[in-house]
């Protein structure tokens, strides 16, 4: 099956800093989603982005499908941005998303 790798595994930032999270995948994808899992376990859908660039407030994402990677940008980070960020992809004939291992983000006040 498809392999999904996220980097870095852990990231500690000071409030106000910017960051870039990366997701590499081993095959072409039909669907790619970025999620934020908050401390209560809720998965918040950030972007549905199989290709191209999208922005939502301080967050933006870019997927370069031909080069098999996606980037999530967080600008002016806030403590509420803390949590785990997951990239998940749908590839080929698969019917369900495959998740990466996540990036644990900690934003310090």
The pattern of x and - marking residues 42 through 71 that bind another protein according to CB under 8 A reads xx-x--x-x---------------------
CB 100 → another protein: shortest distance, Å?
7
DSSP at 46: E
Smallest Cα–Cα separation from 28: which of 67, 62, 70? 67
Q: According to the binding rule CB under 8 A, does residue 28 interact with another protein?
A: no
**Contacts with another protein: how many residues (CB under 8 A)?**
22
Does 26 interact with another protein (rule: CB under 8 A)? no
The residues that touch another protein, with contacts defined as CB under 8 A, are: 30-31, 33, 35, 40-43, 45, 48, 50, 86, 88, 90, 95-102
């Amino acid at each position: 099956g498809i392999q999904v790798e996220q980097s870095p595994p852990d990231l500690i930032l000071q409030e106000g800093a910017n960051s870039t999270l990366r997701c590499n995948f081993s095959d072409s994808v039909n669907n790619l989603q970025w999620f934020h899992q908050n401390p209560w376990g809720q998965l918040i859908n950030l972007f549905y982005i199989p290709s191209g660039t999208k922005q939502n407030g301080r967050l933006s994402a870019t997927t370069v499908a031909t080069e098999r990677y996606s980037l999530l940008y967080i600008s002016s980070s806030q403590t509420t941005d803390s949590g785990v960020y997951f990239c998940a992809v749908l590839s080929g004939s698969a019917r369900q998303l495959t998740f990466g291992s996540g990036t644990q983000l900690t934003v310090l006040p």
